[in-house]
Structure 1
Amino acid sequence: MKKIITATALSLALISSFSWADAGKTDAMQTATNSVTAQQLKDVALIAEQGFNAMHNIQYARLAIFGGKTDLAMKLTDQAAKLLADDSIEWKDFVKQAKDPALTKNDSYVVIDATISLAENYVVTPEKQSAIDKANEKLRKGDKKGALEELRLADIAVNETEYLMPLNITRQAVAKAQQLLKDGKYYEANLALLSTEEAIVVNSETLIDAN
């Protein structure tokens, strides 16, 4: 199992991306997120927050269906549709190709979340912790390239995983789910919503390759 970067190397997340999933886990982190501007977050990571929130609404709508709360399921699905239809943001800013071009040639795949992890075989040693400390110090000074170099010299592999949502497919599936919910076809609506989750493409890249 990959080991997600912990507090000793938390600032390494600034190398490439910010995880919206992690941001929603605690009130303290959410408060910190709310204290910065949308532009600042955009400068840190090209992640479509609206896409992420829409997917969460979809997941909760499915739970609501099976909890017998169909009115809530309809409301959550409507909210997801509204987020996905909102063209006030530049969706193209978040588009990225998956490693397999065949997966993304017929749709616009937008990044809705991202995480950074250390290699699966990562083992904490005094030498490696020292390298992480040096990398953190360089990041504090704004030297991102220097931080990456410190990790590379210490033979610490760093991987980034992005979650890509097909925008058009997701919009169509949510619209279908809306109609099915109106028709009282709740199980079928659940399947339509489930298809949006199954369409997510997980794209992993190595930022630093261990020697």
Structure 2
Amino acid sequence: MKRVFKVATLSLAILSSYAWSADNAAKTLALSAKQEEQLFQISRQGFDAMDSVQRARLALFSGHPNEAKLLVDSAADLLSADQDEWKAFLKADKKTPHGDNDYIVIDAAIAVAEDYVATPEKQKAISKANEKFGKGDHKGAVEELRLAGVGVSETQFLMPLKHTLQSVQSARKLLKDGKYYEANLALKGAEDGIVTETETITEIPDQPLSAKK
């Protein structure tokens, strides 16, 4: 069974664009504390915008169109922010369905490989990794797991900025016109635009045949 670490997803999103990508090693080294904070805020804005989209759909389903309007307005405001500073943190190295869109990481999760076998040593490594994740030491946490022979994968949630904003703006107009069913479909389109991608961060080392059962 795959086990997910108890760590803050948004803090992982900060790391996702850089620290586990060999192609971006130079950027990782150059990322300043200010840039890390910028990246966190960008991921948080995207996360909050999608959360508002999902809650707006629930409000429509529950018969609260006025609440849905407020939530859609909030999502539109978050996505309409000046995105010039976002350009340095876009995901351009992934295969994505909306080719004319810029993608940002809005969420991420770390999980232990499915064939993980618990041992006291590995449990200790996971505890240390959780402590380091909590302190923001993502690289150190992954290294703890690698040294203990724990295979780890990362799932990223990527949001297409242009597509999502267009869907939200369309939903806003439809709500204004009282077209609630159509607005719900537009919001669903925003949700459906999210791309999930899973990558292996650390491989489980091959075991000698004598150790396999």
Q: TM-score, normalised by structure 1?
A: 0.74
In the alignment, residue 64 of structure 1 is paired with which amino acid?
A: A
Cα distance in 2 between the residues matched to 1:112 and 1:138: 21
Cα distance in 1 between the residues matched to 2:182 and 2:58: 14
- Corresponding residue pairs, total: 187
RMSD: 3.3
Q: Which runs of 5+ in 1 are unaligned?
A: 20-37
Mapped contact 1:48–1:110 kept (Cα < 8 A): yes
In the alignment, residue 58 of structure 1 is paired with which amino acid?
A: V
Equivalent in 152, 166, 173 of residue 160 of structure 2: 166
Written as runs of structure 1 = structure 2, the 5 A alignment for 1:64-143 is 64-87=59-82, 90-97=85-92, 99-100=94-95, 102-103=96-97, 105-133=99-127
Q: Which runs of 5+ in 2 are unaligned?
A: 15-32, 206-213
Cα distance in 1 between the residues matched to 2:151 and 2:104: 26
Which aligned runs of 4 or more in structure 1 are off by greater than 3 angstroms?
Answer: 38-41, 43-47, 130-150
**DSSP-derived class of the 2:92 partner:** coil
Q: Which residue of structure 2 lines up, in the alignment, with residue 51 of structure 1?
A: 46
In the alignment, residue 178 of structure 2 is paired with which amino acid?
A: G
Q: Which residue of structure 2 lines up, in the alignment, with residue 32 of structure 1?
A: none
Q: CA deviation at 1:122?
A: 1.9
Q: TM-score, normalised by structure 2?
A: 0.73
Q: Which residue of structure 2 lines up, in the alignment, with residue 23 of structure 1?
A: none
Q: CA deviation at 1:140?
A: 9.2
**Residues 86 and 140 of structure 1: is their aligned pair in 2 closer, same or farther, counting only changes over 3 Å?**
closer
Cα distance in 1 between the residues matched to 2:128 and 2:55: 42
Deviation digits for residues 26-63 of structure 1 (CA, Å, limit 9, x no counterpart): xxxxxxxxxxxx95963885861111101010001001
Q: Which residue of structure 1 lines up, in the alignment, with residue 5 of structure 2?
A: 5
**Residues 163 and 46 of structure 1: is their aligned pair in 2 closer, same or farther, counting only changes over 3 Å?**
farther
In the alignment, residue 66 of structure 2 is paired with which amino acid?
A: D
